[in-house]
Amino acid sequence: MRAEASILHLDLDAFFAAVEQRDKPSLRGKPVVVGGILGRGVVSTASYEARKFGVHSAMPTHEARRLCPNAAYLSGRFGAYRVASRQVMAILRSLSPLVEPLSLDEAFVDLAAGGHTDFSLDALTRLGQEVREQVRTATGGLTASVGIGSSKFIAKLASEQAKPDGLVIVPVGTEVDRIAQLGVRAIPGVGPATAERLYRLGILTVTDLRAATANELRRELGGTTAAWLTDLAYARDDRGISGSREVKSISIEDTFAQDHTRMEDLEPITARDAHEVAARLRKSGMFARTITLKLKLADFTTHTRSRTLLGAVDSNETIAAVAIELLGQQRHLLPQGIRLLGVGVSGFTNEAQEALFEISASRLDESRIDLPPVTVRHGALNYRPGDDVTHAVHGPGWVWGTGMGLVTVRFETAETGPGPIRTFQVDDPELSSTPVRVPDEDPSGPGWIEE
Ligand code: TTP
Ligand code: MG
């Protein structure tokens, strides 16, 4: 923890949904849900208007439709999200050379490394508001929440507390009191598995954690985790800002309190880990081709198996199905006792390759794995809700809905007011997909996320 509040954390508000509302004026102020809108898809994000109905990230889309049937359900435009992300990261890099992006819409900035020396509340308030204003201007209206504090933990917590569209500065010396009432899940690194173990010990909050004995924590969680939790419970966090680095894989691991030997126990854990990895992958705006399963046995030997698909994927079901398939291949190891299970993805691309994936899906079918239906894109004729289209006469618009050989388009853009709706035959030669303008790759930009 630093002697001054010199770490800034910025996170855009309802990022994907906010980009959609910016570019689709008729959706401003309305519930918008972005995500997998077919079959077993899950919600990537929901506008704050939709969150009032209980819709949230990672919820199955069919459940969101039940809670909020009147929302606009859009499949997402990663090109537009990447452009916005780049604009935001450029602003942050003008503050300091030391910027650590965590996902497309989130980053830490080391203000001290940027030559800032005045960390008074006044100066930080001016700085925080100015950054938020610059983001709004550069992105054409997206709002960001900003937190400033003396460590990563506190800065990130502050930006969460600032949400939406706010600024929170945590003065040095107030950190320990500020976190006392938080639940243990608020501590970085405490995932569902660790939280569950803490709950079993009756430890629900940071205050409970402070009261726990060192021995008890060590016994239940191991020395490293116990030490980490105790430090964080007192806001002791000296993690540095690591700057941009290319992340080549995303993975999650569970170490078990007791060794597992049964497929029935390990399958749901594998699925849960796969879903979490998939959510982090989607958050980074990327797709992965390789899925890896790691097992550590009671004798501490590690066994890793991977499978590379023909196309890149990002869905919960596909990643879980492959991970479970890999688990099945290692079934013979189970009687020895599994101490640790990890699921990882790698081989990233910026685009899904759904048509290619179809081939590997049918291969997977042979191994009798239940996979979600695969959408094959038939060139421009496969319009998805939310996609940008252009009509030779009516100009630019977006796909409002499709079905029965028809496509309904709303003709509006970020610069117009709410526009009119018209319906066409899907093969109307005057209608086409608007080409995505892919900006130049910027190695310190998005697609670079926390491991
Ligand atoms: P978040 O910053 O977690 O969420 P958000 O920006 O939508 O909302 P807020 O920060 O105001 O709470 O994630 C950023 C984007 O990442 C989000 O807009 C969509 C994507 N994402 C997923 O695709 N899947 C997920 O499970 C999550 C959490 C995010
Ligand atoms: Mg966000």
Query: Looking at the CA of 46, which ligand is closest?
Result: 1
CB atoms within 10 A of CB 449: 23
361 has a pLDDT exceeding 90: no
For β-strands 388-391 and 43-46, DSSP reports them as: unpaired
**Gap from CA of 302 to ligand 1 centroid (Å):** 33
The whole-number pLDDT of residue 373 equals: 38
Within the chain, what is the greatest distance between any pair of CA atoms?
A: 73
Percent of the chain with pLDDT over 90: 75
Encode pLDDT of 367-413 as tens digits.
333 334 334 344 445 899 999 999 999 999 999 999 889 999 999 99
Whole-number pLDDT of residue 193: 85
* Ligand 1 pocket member 13 (CB < 6 A): yes
Q: Is 132 in the pocket of ligand 1 (CB under 6 A)?
A: no
Give the ligand whose atoms come closest to the C-alpha of residue 13. Answer: 1
CB 143 within 8 A of CB 18: yes
Question: pLDDT band for position 357 (50/70/90)?
Answer: very low
Residues whose CB is less than 8 angstroms from the CB of residue 201 and which lie 6 or more positions away in sequence, other chains included:
212, 216, 220
Segment 35-46, tens digit of pLDDT: 988 878 899 999
Which of 4, 100, 106, 175 is the catalytic position?
Answer: 106
The pLDDT tens digits for 302-334 are 999 999 998 889 999 999 999 999 999 999 999
Could you read off the pLDDT of 106-165 as tens digits, one per residue?
999 999 999 999 999 999 999 999 999 999 999 999 999 999 999 999 999 999 999 999
Report yes or no: 287 and 357 within 8 Å, Cβ to Cβ: no
Cβ–ligand 1 distance for 105 under 6 Å, the answer: yes
**Cβ–Cβ contacts within 10 Å for residue 216, how many?**
12
> What is the average pLDDT value for the chain, to the nearest integer?
89
pLDDT band of 438, cuts 50, 70, 90: low
Whole-structure pTM value: 0.82
Peptide bond into 164 cis (omega under 30): yes
- Compute, in degrees rounded to 10, the torsion defined by CA atoms 41, 384, 445, 109: -60
Question: pLDDT-based confidence at 178, cuts 50/70/90?
Answer: very high
Cα 13 to ligand 2 centroid, rounded to whole Å: 5
Is the pLDDT higher at 378 or at 215?
Answer: 215
CA 204 to centroid of ligand 2, rounded, Å? 26
Q: Which amino acid is at 157?
A: L
Mean pLDDT throughout 62-72?
97
Q: What is the mean pLDDT of residues 89-101?
A: 94
Per the annotation, the verdict on 358 as an active-site residue is no
Q: Tell me the pairing of strands 167-169 and 144-149.
A: parallel
- Report how far residue 59's alpha carbon sits from residue 402's, in angstroms, rounded to the nearest whole number: 24
Q: Does 282 sit in the ligand 1 pocket, CB within 6 Å?
A: yes
* Average pLDDT over every residue of 340-344: 95
> How far away, in angstroms, is 35 Cα from ligand 2 center?
15
Q: Which long-range contacts (CB under 8 A, 24 or more apart) does 257-265 make?
A: 257/197, 257/220, 259/298, 259/337, 259/338, 259/339, 260/334, 260/337, 260/338, 260/341, 261/334, 261/335, 261/336, 261/337, 261/338, 262/334, 263/327, 263/328, 263/331, 263/334
pLDDT in tens, 253-275: 888 888 999 999 999 999 999 99
Q: Which ligand is nearest to the CA of 57?
A: 1
Q: CA 146 to CA 264: how far, in whole Å?
A: 44
Question: CA–CA separation, 399 vs 168, rounded Å?
Answer: 38
